[in-house]
Chain A
């Protein structure tokens, strides 16, 4: 087990009191495993990985619970120690490659900067490694590309450069926050292919965030579904797609066109909008939008035990 998150809670102090954006999130990631996190915007999936990365810099944030990376506690770790992990053992790929790179430095400079931060190598070696990495992520003519500025590359190429940067130190854990969302559909497929290939060669564990279950089906070993800052369902990919248990997961699956078979006449949508984190319903957060709500849902459901975990009273009732 490489990462163990237990009862993670993130809240923000605001004018209207404490707003809890993550509530009791627990999960684990094994060596070399791909964990997918799915959810709508605002479900807390990005906040979860930012907490893991120690990148919640807002002074009004309160982080509670435990995040253990290879047995070391990350919550409350000294910034200095955290920095040594970040970019070396845990790396991150961001959603929008257009804005994720500093505009005034070349790609090579930015990759070499990360290498030099974590490894005792010469500048020439770091630069050479940058070229190798760019070649590995499939950027044509890497020895020229290192001298290019971010704006001179296309979105797909930029995302490849960001991925190359994340791989510089062979991280044990790679966090990818919707790395394909901002890209064209054809490029999305290429980037997913690349990630799969790199996962095979580098053997990093990956936490992959997306709101696109189709992407999830291609890449993830296990899938975790989040709603309003809570985990509502977690299972292996096959189990989840074959037998979704939580009404929210079910609704999500029904809202995408099936890959095979006859297309439904109309895709289903989920009625209503995600609840405001300012005033969550007392019981199940999905309750107000759930078509199968019943009396028990006034209480807050807890996750059932593995392998197929669900936070829904229907499961007990079945």
Chain B
């Protein structure tokens, strides 16, 4: 088992290296493109361009450029934005993490709870109307662009029905710090949480239903029935429990991906200044250092999260754990 974990971690380091190399190549190695001009932003003066060239070592070999970039982002953290003159990028990115975490964790709680309810209910009523209804709803959830759903939510709660008793509590868009205003923090995040979770509720509900239904075909379910267990117990303690392994793995991957930037669209629509929104703003300003930083930090986080998930998987499944 220790060997399996070590192997997984070394694979993680390799993937991290690969990603950093890929990012480096995309930003600095694209043929026919001057990276200094990109980093300096639109209409930069010759002096700024020269400063950028020197600072990133563009007059030196590729491997020095790569190392310079990695050092600026991960070691010294002194990467500065040229679009927003002198702005330290790394601390700015780290500042946005709590916002993204607030959004994703809340949504994750919602989507785990509701997809469990939906998946188990659909599996219990499989091939009957509650199952069919839930699966169609799930498919609709999966088919909606999240940013569009966010706009529809805004239209309903901020404009059309804002004055009704139902949504008068919804505060204006934006984020409030938990430490300053816990109630405001909660209220501003309710609608984004619901919006972000709907896609995942649909997806996880369907996946869970499929894997429970599959588990219910197994021989050990027949053994459980022969033992005289109740159908509820068979469904929850035997079929669901064995399906949860896949569920937890999928959850870890998606949670990691969301914190690592996939919540971007939701953040943009609801004006939440998280990692994704920061990246989006940098995209509008063509502020390359910011994008490089968020991309690298976020994708490293995702890779790390994936590795953690695999280790948890090893710990969770006795078949893998003890072999």
Contacts and interface: CB of A to CB of B under 8 A. Distances in A.
The answer to whether A and B touch directly, with their CB atoms under 8 angstroms apart, is yes
B228 A83 contact: yes
A101 interface: yes
A149 to B, nearest CB: 4
A165 B218 contact: no
A92 to B, nearest CB: 4
Nearest to B218: A99
A83 B318 CA distance: 29
A100 B225 contact: no
Nearest to B216: A57
Contacts of A118: 228
A105 B237 CA distance: 10
A99 B220 contact: yes
24 contacts: A55-B225, A85-B228, A87-B226, A87-B229, A88-B228, A94-B222, A96-B219, A99-B220, A100-B222, A100-B223, A101-B223, A102-B223, A102-B241, A103-B220, A103-B242, A103-B318, A103-B319, A104-B317, A105-B241, A113-B237, A114-B228, A117-B229, A149-B318, A151-B322
A110 to B, nearest CB: 8
Interface in B300-323: 317-319, 322-323
Contact of B226 (A53, A104, A113): A53
Interface in A58-112: 79, 83-88, 91-92, 94, 96, 99-105
Interface of A: 53, 55, 57, 79, 83-88, 91-92, 94, 96, 99-105, 113-114, 117-118, 149, 151-152, 162, 165
Contacts of A101: 220, 223
B227 A114 contact: yes
B322 A55 contact: no
A101 B220 CA distance: 5
B225 A86 contact: yes
Contacts of A100: 219-220, 222-223
A57 B225 contact: yes
Given A100-B219, A102-B242, A162-B223, A87 B319 contact: no
A165 to B, nearest CB: 7
B213 to A, nearest CB: 13
Contacts of A83: 228-230
B318 A113 contact: no
Contacts of B238: 102
Contacts of A86: 225-228
A79 B237 CA distance: 19
A204 to B, nearest CB: 15
B323 A151 contact: yes
Given A103-B242, A149-B322, A162-B223, A87 B228 contact: yes
A151 B318 contact: yes
Contacts of B153: none
Contacts of A113: 227, 229, 237
B23 to A, nearest CB: 40
Nearest to A80: B230
B69 to A, nearest CB: 46
**In this complex, which of B218, B227, B230 has the most chain A Cβ atoms within 10 angstroms of its Cβ?**
B227
B226 A91 contact: yes
B48 interface: no
Contacts of B237: 113
B286 interface: no
Nearest to B221: A102
B187 interface: no
A152 B318 CA distance: 9
B224 interface: yes
Given A103-B242, A104-B241, A55 B226 contact: yes
A92 B223 CA distance: 8
A99 B242 contact: no
A173 to B, nearest CB: 12
B235 to A, nearest CB: 12
Given A83-B230, A96-B219, A102 B319 contact: no
Contacts of B319: 103, 149, 151
Contacts of B245: 104
A86 B226 CA distance: 6
Closest 6 CB pairs of A and B: A87-B228, A99-B219, A86-B228, A87-B227, A92-B226, A149-B318
B124 to A, nearest CB: 13
B225 to A, nearest CB: 6
Nearest to A95: B219
B127 to A, nearest CB: 8
Contacts of A92: 223, 226
Interface string B198-224: 000000000000000000001110111
Contacts of B218: 99
Contacts of B226: 53, 55, 86-87, 91-92, 94
Contacts of A87: 226-229
Nearest to A92: B226
A20 B102 CA distance: 60
A260 B245 CA distance: 54
A53 B222 CA distance: 11
Contacts of B228: 83-88, 114, 117-118
